[in-house]
Amino acid sequence: MSLHVVIGFGPAGAATARLLAEKGHQVRVVTKSGRSPEPGIEHVALDATDSERLIEAAQGAAAIYSCAAPPYHRWLSEWPPLASSVCAAAEATGAVLVLLGNLYGYGPVDGPMTEELPLAATGPKRRVRSAIWQQARKLHDQGRIKAVEVRASDFFGPGVTDGGHLAARVVPRLLRGKPVSTLGDPDAPHSWSYLPDVAGALVEVAGEERAWGRAWHVPTEPPLSTRQMVDLLAAQSGTGPVAVRRLPPAVLGVVSVFSPLIRELKEIRYQFDRPFVVDSSAYEAEFALRATPVDEQVKATVAWWRERLTPTG
Domain boundaries, the chain: 3-157+193-220+277-292
Report the pLDDT value the prediction gives residue 181, as an integer from 0 to 100: 87
Average pLDDT over residues 276-297: 98
- CA 179/CA 139 separation, integer angstroms: 49
Residues 6+ apart with CB under 8 A from 288: 204
pLDDT band at 126 (very low <50, low <70, confident <90, very high): confident
- Cβ(225)–Cβ(183) below 8 Å: no
155-164, 172-181, 251-260, 289-298: range with lowest mean pLDDT: 251-260
Report DSSP state, residue 33. Answer: S
- pLDDT of 171-182, one tens digit each? 999 999 999 988
Predicted pLDDT at 313: 40
DSSP H helices in 142-242? 171-175, 195-206, 226-237
Q: CA 272, CA 185: separation in Å to the nearest integer? A: 6
Distance, in Å, from the CA atom of 275 to the CA atom of 108, rounded to the nearest integer, reads 9
Residue 244 main-chain phi, psi, to 5 deg: -120, 120
Query: Are the C-beta atoms of 61 and 4 separated by less than 8 Å?
Result: yes
Report the chain's mean pLDDT, rounded to a whole number.
91
Backbone angles phi, psi at 92, to 5 degrees: -70, -30
- Residue 273 pLDDT level (bands cut at 50, 70, 90): confident
61-75 mean pLDDT: 91
CA angle 137, 131, 82 (to 5 degrees): 90
Give the pLDDT band of residue 250 (cuts 50, 70, 90).
low
Specify the pLDDT at position 267: 62
Which pLDDT value is given to residue 210?
98
* Residues with Cβ within 8 Å of residue 287, at least 6 apart in sequence: 201, 204, 205, 208, 211
The string of pLDDT tens digits covering residues 91-101 is 999 999 999 99
- Quick check: helix, strand or coil at residue 126? helix
In whole angstroms, give the CA distance from residue 128 to residue 134: 10
252 pLDDT more than 90? no
CA dihedral 133, 138, 143, 144 (to 10 degrees): -70
Taking the chain, what is the end-to-end CA distance rounded to the nearest angstrom?
39
What's the CATH superfamily of 3-157+193-220+277-292? NAD(P)-binding Rossmann-like Domain (3.40.50.720)
Distances (CA, A) of 283 to 114, 262, 280: 10, 33, 6
- Convert the pLDDT of each residue in 134-184 to its tens digit: 999 999 999 999 999 999 999 999 999 976 578 888 999 999 999 998 888
Work out the number of other CB atoms within 10 angstroms of the CB of residue 52: 12
- The pTM of the full predicted model, rounded to 2 decimals, is 0.93
**Does residue 187 carry a pLDDT above 60?**
yes
pLDDT for the residue numbered 76: 87
Look at residue 294 and tell me whether its pLDDT is greater than 70: yes
Which of 68-72, 235-239, 262-266 shows the lowest per-residue confidence on average (mean pLDDT)?
Answer: 262-266
Residues, the chain = 313
* Top-confidence residue, 194 or 261: 194
Beta bridge mates, 27: 4, 41
CB 18 within 8 A of CB 201: no
- State percent of the chain over pLDDT 90: 75
Residue 48 has pLDDT above 70, yes or no: yes
Q: Are 104 and 129 in contact (CB under 8 A)?
A: yes
The pLDDT score that the predictor gives to residue 1 is 73
